[in-house]
Amino acid sequence: MLKKLRELLIRIPIPLFQNPTPVVAILPLEGVIGSTSRFSTALNLAGLEEKIEQAFDVYNLKAVALAINSPGGSPVQSELIMRHIQRLSEEKKIPVYAFAEDVAASGGYLISLAAEEIYAHEASIIGSIGVISTGFGFHKAIEKIGVERRVYAAGDNKSVLDPFQPEKEKDVKLLKEMQKEIHVFFKNLVKESRGDRLKGTEKLMFSGQFWAGNEALKLGLIDGIGDIHSVCREKFGDKTKFKRIKEEKGLIKSLIGIKSANLKLSDEIMATMESKSLWSRFGL
């Protein structure tokens, strides 16, 4: 039996064993970045870890392409996702390329720093390297409807930025100090990743401003204008195949989906408003 198998293998033309079709895994990263307890659908490491690992396990893989379409969100989750992609890229010796679709801003741009090279469409929105906090003040509303707010706390700053109390100058000062620290963290990540490719001044690039593709290219925030298919075929050949990594819906995930659908309506409304506000900053 082994002798026959050996003879059969010998008869098979050698070219069939050589140069198999190169494959690029496309990893879609779309949406607001943050905890699923805040947004019914969100990008975070817990939800993406399995998909990221699937992308690096594709047969005859030549590269992983990140298809990014995100206005940002949590800086912590953004870095966790970025570092996990970087770690697998180094371990598997597989290059990563990032492609901004409509928008790769703030945390969305931070995730793109996992890549060796970043590309965008001419009309993509890139940047917004800054930190923002948003909220509402309800103290006048509860006065109107005759509700009395009662807060008891141990610790002078335990009720900082309580939306049901008038805004306090010292609370805003504390928030801005924290934002400054996070902003420094973000700037250092960009400088560490992009290095001497950055061409703009720090004052401009890290002001929170955002740009379309061509201007982002001039500033060195991206490496070129192009889409996944054209860039990857230029790098790996016209016969390159693409495998899009999709989320598998099993019974457990379906049950989780049912559970998330039963969240309080008020929580869903607030999450939707917050998500919409992040997208609307970029006209989307």
> Is the residue at 11 inside a domain?
no
The enclosing domain of 65 has a CATH number of: 3.90.226.10
Q: Is 96 helix (H, G, I), strand (E, B) or coil?
A: strand
**Domain-located, residue 142:** no
Residue 48: which of 245, 244, 227, 189 has the closest Cα? Answer: 245
E strand or H helix that includes residue 271: helix 265-280
- Where residue 66 falls among pLDDT bands split at 50, 70, 90? very high
In 3D space, the residue among 78, 88, 130 whose CA is nearest the CA of residue 281 turns out to be 130
- Convert the pLDDT of each residue in 106-132 to its tens digit: 999 999 999 999 999 999 999 998 877
Domain assignment present for residue 268? The answer is yes
Using alpha carbons only, what angle is made at residue 48 by residues 42 and 51, rounded to the nearest 5 degrees? 135
**Cβ(33)–Cβ(78) below 8 Å:** yes
Question: Could you tell me if residue 14 is inside a domain?
Answer: no
- Give the mean model confidence (pLDDT) for residues 85-105: 97
**Regarding predicted confidence, which is higher, 63 or 250?**
63
In this prediction, residue 248 carries a pLDDT of: 59
Please indicate, yes or no, if residue 72 is contained in any of the structural domains. yes
Give this prediction's pTM.
0.77
Alpha-carbon span 127 to 205, nearest angstrom: 8
Q: What is the pLDDT of residue 165?
A: 74
Residue pLDDT, tens place only, 208-222: 899 999 999 999 999
- pLDDT value at 14 more than 50: no
CA distance 61 to 126: 28
Query: Is residue 206 included in any domain, yes or no?
Result: yes
* Structural domain count of the chain: 1
Q: For the chain, what percent of residues have pLDDT higher than 90?
A: 54
- In this prediction, residues 63-87 reach a mean pLDDT of 95
- Tell whether 249 is covered by a domain: yes
Domain that holds residue 102: 22-133+184-280
Token pair, residue 69, equals 């379409």
**79 found inside a domain:** yes
